[in-house]
Every structure is written in structure tokens, then in C-alpha cells.
Chain A
Amino acid sequence: MATKSLKKLGNDLAQSNKQLEILSNGIFKNGELPTFKDKISKTSQFPIKAKKLEILQINVGYMCNQVCDHCHVDAGPDRKEIMTRDTMRQCLEVIKNSGAHTLDLTGGAPEMNPDFRWFVEEAAKVGITDFIVRSNLTIIRANKKYYDLPEFFKKHNVHVVSSMPHWTRGKTDKQRGDGVFDKSIKALQELNAVGYGMPGSDLRLDLVYNPSGAFLPGDQAAMEKDFKKALMDDFGIEFHNLFAITNLPIARFLDYLIASENYEDYMYSLVEAYNPTAVENVMCTNTLSISWDGYLFDCDFNQMLELPVNSKSRHISEFNEELLEGRNIVISQHCYGCTAGAGSSCQGVVA
């Protein structure tokens, strides 16, 4: 189980250029596997172009109370990158003036940003009604000051999306740390208690499943059925939907793939499962990712790889919706993760 970020450990893979080098060399350079660009070109889907902006996904900081094995953010308690109130104000300006209807807050643990609540309250004032918070659940139980988060979420009708790798303690704790399962269960029960996730409730509670190792997620609907049955039978927990998300080969998951000698097989699995239909609906076509320091990216993964948007408008301070719409999405081999099987996005399958 990891306790420190790759960055803190001084691991080479904490550098985005090292990750991109690995993803471009080896089996992709020698032609054993086609590059993502070649693959989508075959079905005349290159370049992928951004459509109308619908979702602003804001990464308010990489600090987290957990150090999960496969975190693509390389988040942890030792990460100090945190969005300031000034950058949040710039985001609010953009929200007011853009066509985006959804504000999707992620991290790290977004709730750990000291201005998290202020930001949600201010965004509500300027008319945002569709909030998503990607909560790791355990944060709700991590410290007294977070105990009232379920009430806070409810007040602003925040859509809570939470990671839950498995319905058993063993598999969950192996991936996310000792004690995570019990705390997550307690947090889910507290969310249920204020009305989250209940059948027919407007208070949306969805869970995210991502595999615990070098394999792809199974069928989302079948997994949802299994999760619902087990969480209800064992703990009386209700939730709305399960999003099955594929692990992308970057950051800590890439480090794991290489160390466990699974990298090549995993890339083969992703390429073999390539689904051109999924390409049509990849999330980068309607979502913009904003980093803690205000830079713009096609997705949270490109943010971690430091691949900026292909546009003159590169920072929240120079946001220009017209310039950004229709831009060519920046791609590399990690993109195979979003187009495998039924596809994968922050809202689950796309095909």
C-alpha cells in the first residue's frame, strides 16, 4: 500500500514527460501496436474535435487524505498544489459567461481545499444548479470539520460521485488503504440518512468502480446489480448508479503496470477492446478540465500529463469559448483507456 506520492518519492514517473516517453516508445514505436492517432485515423475519426462546452471539471487541488494505489493524479497528503480563491473567482467569471451548465469538482479530495464551501456557495449564487463533487467518502469521516458535509451537499443539491472499488473490505482496502472500506460504508450510510441515493430521491449518489489491477472493468450494468445487492444485503445501503471506469495508464497506475510487468499486456487489452463508437462520445468533446493553477486541459488525464489545450486560450484568465470550441483534442496512447469496450468517462460508459 502506497503512503507517499510518486512526486514526494522522487520517482521518475512523477514527471509527465517520462510518462509520455513510455507511452510513445516500445510497442507503439516498433509498430507492434498502432498509435491512438493511427487507430482513430482508420475510422476517419482523427482529429477529435471539441463540441459545445457543457461541463467544467475543476481540479481544486491534489491534496488528499488517501494515497490510492492507482491514482492518476498521484494525489496524497503530501501534495500542496491547491487552487486559490483568486483562481476560483476567475472560474466563477467563466461560469457566468459560458454555456457550461455543470460544475464538476475534483481533486485530490476537493473538500480539503479551504475554500471549497465558499466556491460552491458562490457558484450557486451565479446560477449553477448542476454540481458534481467527486468525493472519496472517507473525507466525511476524516475529521470533525467534515462531519456535516452530507448536510452541506444536500443544501446545494450537489450530485455526489464516490469511488468504491469493491463491495468487499479486502479488495477495497488493498487498493485504497486500510480502514477505507469501513469509513466509506459509514459515509454512505450517513449520505443515505439525509436522503442521498434513495430510490426516487433528487439527491443523486452515484458510485465509481475502477478495477483493482491490470484488467478492464466488466459490464457496467452487471456490476451495478452486484454492487446494489451486496451493499443492500450487507449494510442496507442504497445508491443510484454505478459508473465503471477504466484505469488509464498514467501516473501511479502506469508505475504499477511497469513494476508488475503488466504494461504490455494491459496496452494490448486496451487496443484489442478499441471501440470506434466510444470515440464519438469521449468526455473531452464536451468537458474542459481546469487545473489548480488555472490552466486549461482537454481532460483531467491530459492535465496530469501536462498536455495543454491546443488553443490560444490556455488559461482561465484568457478563457475564450469560441476559440476553444472546435479545437483539436490533444491525444496520446493513454486515450485508448477511454475508448476500450463500452468506453469510459467520468460519467461511466459512453457507448
Chain B
Amino acid sequence: MSKPYYDAADLRKFGKITEWNEELGTKFFDYYGKVFEEGALTAREKSLIALAVAHTEQCPYCIDAYTKDTLQRGVTKEQMMEAIHVGAAIKSGATLVHGVQMMNKVNKLDG
């Protein structure tokens, strides 16, 4: 029987990381909680950013968590998909903009 690296049920155990280092774990979760509070950005905007980043980071736990979180905040599937495209555009843009480096190098080597 194959054992997957990721288990959806592990997300529920995230809080347990404090058990092996309470100080850092607690500081992290305090920080995390604070980040997602309503601020200059709404909690809904932050959740959509998190959804996009969850995809660029390709974190399955984060994708589960922020798909549910955005749904809870009334975000539509069209909005979710657009948010992911923003992440994807930055990812592909970041790849392609390095093309300039490649072009520079070619021009230098093969002038």
C-alpha cells in the first residue's frame, strides 16, 4: 500500500508544531492570526491573496484551507479562478523576464 507524502487530515494537526517548540510555534501562530485580521486590507482581500499564493507555493494544505476560507467569505468561483491567474501570471512573468538575462548573455557571448 502506498503512503502519500501529504495527508489532508494533517492540516488539523498544524497546531501541534508548538509541542516541540512552544515559544517559536506560539509566536508564529500569533503573527499568522494577526496578519489575517481586518486591517488596511479586508479579511476577504487577504484571503484571496492567500489563495493565490497557496497555488504559487503549491501547498495542498493551504489550497484546502483558503478555498474553504474564501468560500466562507462569499467569494465566487470566478473570483477565485481570477486570483489564481494573477498568481500564475506573476509566476510565468518571473520566468520569462529572465529571458532578458538569457538574451544579454547570448549577445555578449555570440556577438
A residues in contact (CB < 8 Å) with B: 166-168, 170-171, 209, 211, 213, 215-219, 222-223, 226, 268, 272
Distance from A53 Cβ to chain B, minimum over Cβ atoms (Å): 34
CB neighbours (8 Å) of B71 from chain A are 211, 213, 215
Contact B68–A222 (Cβ < 8 Å):
no
Is the beta-carbon distance between A218 and B42 smaller than 8 angstroms?
no
The residue of chain B having its C-beta at the shortest distance from the C-beta of A225 within the complex is: B42
Cα distance A142–B71 when bound, in Å? 30
B55 within 8 A of A: no
Taking a contact as CB atoms under 8 Å apart, the answer to whether A226 and B74 are in contact is: yes
- Residues of B contacting A217 in the complex (Cβ-Cβ under 8 angstroms): 72
Closest chain-B Cβ to A258's Cβ sits at a distance in Å of 18
Distance of A254 Cα from B96 Cα, bound (Å): 49
A264 shortest CB reach to chain B, Å: 9
Q: Are B74 and A218 neighbours in the complex by a CB distance under 8 Å?
A: yes
**Neighbour of B74 across the interface among A166, A213, A216, A272, CB < 8 A:** A166
Q: Known A-B contacts: A166-B74, A167-B74, A215-B68. Give 11 more (CB < 8 A).
A: A171-B76, A209-B74, A211-B71, A211-B72, A215-B71, A215-B72, A217-B72, A219-B73, A222-B44, A226-B74, A268-B12
| Cβ contacts under 8 Å, B72 to chain A | 211, 215-218
Count residues on chain B whose CB falls below 8 Å from chain A CBs: 11
**A274 CB, min distance to chain B CBs, angstroms:** 14
Using CB atoms and an 8 Å cutoff, list the residues of chain B in contact with chain A: 12, 38, 42-44, 68, 71-74, 76
A-B CB contact pairs (8 Å), 21 listed: A166-B74, A167-B74, A170-B76, A171-B76, A209-B74, A211-B72, A213-B71, A215-B71, A215-B72, A216-B72, A217-B72, A218-B44, A218-B73, A218-B74, A219-B43, A222-B38, A222-B43, A222-B44, A222-B73, A223-B74, A226-B74
Residue of A nearest to B42 (CB): A222
Q: Please indicate the chain B residues that have their CB under 8 angstroms from the CB of A219 in the complex.
A: 43, 73
Cβ of B76: which chain A residues have Cβ within 8 Å of it?
166, 168, 170-171
B13 → chain A closest CB, angstroms = 12
CA distance A259 to B38 in the complex (A): 35
Residues of B contacting A226 in the complex (Cβ-Cβ under 8 angstroms): 44, 74
Distance between A123 CB and nearest chain B CB, rounded to angstroms: 36
With the chains together, A205 CA to B76 CA distance in Å? 25
* Distance A223 CA – B72 CA, assembled complex (angstroms): 9
Residues in chain A near residue B68, CB distance under 8 A: 215
Shortest CB distance B72–A (Å)? 4
Q: What residue of chain A has the Cβ atom nearest to residue B44's Cβ?
A: A222
* A222 contact set on B, CB distance < 8 A: 38, 42-44, 73
Q: Choose among A216, A218, A226, A272 the residue with the greatest number of B CB atoms under 10 Å from its CB.
A: A218
**Chain B residues with CB below 8 A from A167, complex form:** 74
Give the residues in chain B near A272, CB-CB below 8 Å: 12
Instruction: Provide the bound-state CA to CA distance between A124 and B72, in Å.
Output: 39
